[in-house]
Amino acid sequence: MAGGTHRVPFARRGSVLGEADLAALAELVRAEGTLTSGVWRDRFEERFRERIGARHALTVTSGTVALELATRLLDLAPGDEVIATPQTFQATIQPLLDHDVRVRFCDVDPDTLNMDPDVLETLVTDRTRAIFLVHYGGNPADMDRIMAIARRHGAIVVEDSAHGIGTLYKGRHPGALADIGCFSFHSTKNITTLGEGGMITLARDEWAERVLRIRDNEVDGVFTPRTDAGEERPALLPWMKFADSVYRHTAVGIRGAGTNATMSEAAAAVGMVQLDSLDRFVDRRRWIAGRLDEALSAFPGVRLHRAAPDSRHSYHLYTFFLTAGREVREHFVRAVDLLGVEIQLRYFPLHLSPEWRLRGHGAGECPQAERVWFEEHMNLPCHPGLTDDQVDHLVTAVTRAMREAYEKAGAKAHLARTA
């Protein structure tokens, strides 16, 4: 499958950039002010926070960094357990590799590819510190049940909402459904901040204070205001702001070094414009998905990836399941590729990847995730950058490739029977 040459490519860009994005950049360039830690960042955070309904929303440089910070806030200790979905991009749980914790992979619901609460119930223990889940492809996880289980055991829930921007769960937005939310504005995501960027949403003030320190190159620690003024020190002059803060606080415990995870003003300016366009982008995704659903539901052996009636799927990924057998699936993939439609399967179950195998994980741990990925899983292009012509071609090509796949598989089965 030659990448980049398909008539209907998988998304390199998940959103559309235009005049309004350019105008925001022009305004920023002409203003001659700071290019970092400025008003655009503050405005973007405020607008995002309101949109999501989160207590705090803080920009960072990527979704991966948001997840690293989320993991850091958990203060994991040896012996702690963390439960995670295997059906996600590696960044969701990669930071856990740095910790001496036991990761338990929770199998998924084969209809949604989201964490299955029935399985979660069997994995949760008194040692479960956190649960990492994803709203797969933009279809929200079963949050009411997951949160009820988590609350009963005092576990913190991290929503990887990289696919969930524009998604609604019973009228509420991912990132405000649990304790910590992590968003990505990577080029392929539903909105982008010029290629890279991220946001972390937080339900606790203490976490927000820590993230502000960490992302701005300060030490992450437990600080208490100094009460005794007895220490010998040089007199402070009013402009000695930094020295003043050093003297005013006593570190009780250092948790770790800070870093620079500050989003640029250019990224935030574009983020503001993109956020205003989010509903339009998601409507376009939903329209394309509706056309694909309609075409595919004409075939037996197809299971669609649908949100519950009270929720809104944002179709970051268009997914369907081809249950007609390996042969039909392989014929379909080949035929649709020849017709110019690019397929990329998202994602390989993480518990089967080398880094988690080295930690003792492997086949059999999540039977549904494994079965669906190896036997049924399909993703098709679905993004607002596709023109009407491309969408027409996509739907026609999918229909034709499905017919061919059934015919070929059927003919072969017939030949095998008559041989």
Ligand X SMILES: *Cc1c(COP(=O)(O)O)cnc(C)c1O
Q: Pick between residue 89 and residue 223 the one whose CB is nearest to ligand X.
A: 89
Under rule CB under 6 A, residue 166 binds ligand X: no
Q: Pick between residue 328 and residue 369 the one whose CB is nearest to ligand X.
A: 369
**In the complex, least distance from residue 189 CB atom to ligand X, rounded to whole angstroms:** 6
- Candidates 59, 85, 92, 139; binder of ligand X (CB under 6 A) is 92
Under rule CB under 6 A, residue 141 binds ligand X: no
Instruction: Give the separation between CA 157 and CA 155, rounded to whole angstroms.
Output: 6
Under rule CB under 6 A, residue 68 binds ligand X: no
Under rule CB under 6 A, residue 285 binds ligand X: no
- Candidates 89, 132, 207, 406; binder of ligand X (CB under 6 A) is 89
Amino acid identity for residue 88 in this structure? T
- Candidates 140, 198, 271, 384; binder of ligand X (CB under 6 A) is 198
Q: Pick between residue 88 and residue 390 the one whose CB is nearest to ligand X.
A: 88
Stretch in the footprint of ligand X (CB under 6 A) among 157-165, 209-217, 325-333, 356-364? 157-165
**In the complex, least distance from residue 162 CB atom to ligand X, rounded to whole angstroms:** 3
Counting residues that bind ligand X (by CB under 6 A) gives: 14
- Candidates 6, 104, 186, 285; binder of ligand X (CB under 6 A) is 186
Long-range contacts of 373-376 (CB under 8 A, 24+ apart): 373/87, 373/345, 373/348, 373/349, 375/323, 375/326, 375/329, 376/110, 376/303, 376/321, 376/322, 376/323, 376/329
Q: Pick between residue 182 and residue 335 the one whose CB is nearest to ligand X.
A: 182
**In the complex, least distance from residue 201 CB atom to ligand X, rounded to whole angstroms:** 14
Instruction: Give the separation between CA 182 and CA 387, rounded to whole angstroms.
Output: 30
Under rule CB under 6 A, residue 64 binds ligand X: yes
Residues 6 or more apart whose CB falls under 8 angstroms from that of 311 comprise 139, 140, 167, 168, 169, 170
Quick one: CA dihedral 395, 397, 400, 401, positive or negative?
A: negative
* Paired strand residues for 182: 160, 200
Q: Pick between residue 103 and residue 405 the one whose CB is nearest to ligand X.
A: 103
Binding mask 98-137 for ligand X (x = CB under 6 A): ------------------------------------x---
- Candidates 116, 142, 159, 160; binder of ligand X (CB under 6 A) is 160
Q: Pick between residue 182 and residue 296 the one whose CB is nearest to ligand X.
A: 182
The answer to whether residue 241 is catalytic is no
Under rule CB under 6 A, residue 56 binds ligand X: no
Long-range contacts of 251-254 (CB under 8 A, 24+ apart): 251/219, 251/221, 251/222, 251/223, 252/221, 252/222, 252/223, 252/224, 253/221, 253/222, 254/219, 254/220, 254/221
Under rule CB under 6 A, residue 88 binds ligand X: yes
- Candidates 15, 59, 62, 277; binder of ligand X (CB under 6 A) is 62
**Residue from 189, 241, 408, 412 carrying the catalytic annotation:** 189
- Candidates 9, 14, 63, 138; binder of ligand X (CB under 6 A) is 63
Under rule CB under 6 A, residue 365 binds ligand X: no
CA-wise closest residue to 195 among 21, 37, 20: 21
Output DSSP code: residue 39. H
Instruction: Give the separation between CA 370 and CA 348, rounded to whole angstroms.
Output: 9
β-pair type (377-380, 318-322): antiparallel
Report H helices in 89-239: 117-123, 143-153, 205-215
Answer for the pair 167, 314: CB distance below 8 angstroms, yes or no. yes
Quick one: CA dihedral 369, 373, 377, 381, positive or negative?
A: positive
**In the complex, least distance from residue 346 CB atom to ligand X, rounded to whole angstroms:** 8
Binding site for ligand X (CB under 6 A): 62-64, 88-89, 91-92, 134, 160, 162-163, 184, 186, 198
Q: So which residues are the catalytic ones?
A: 189
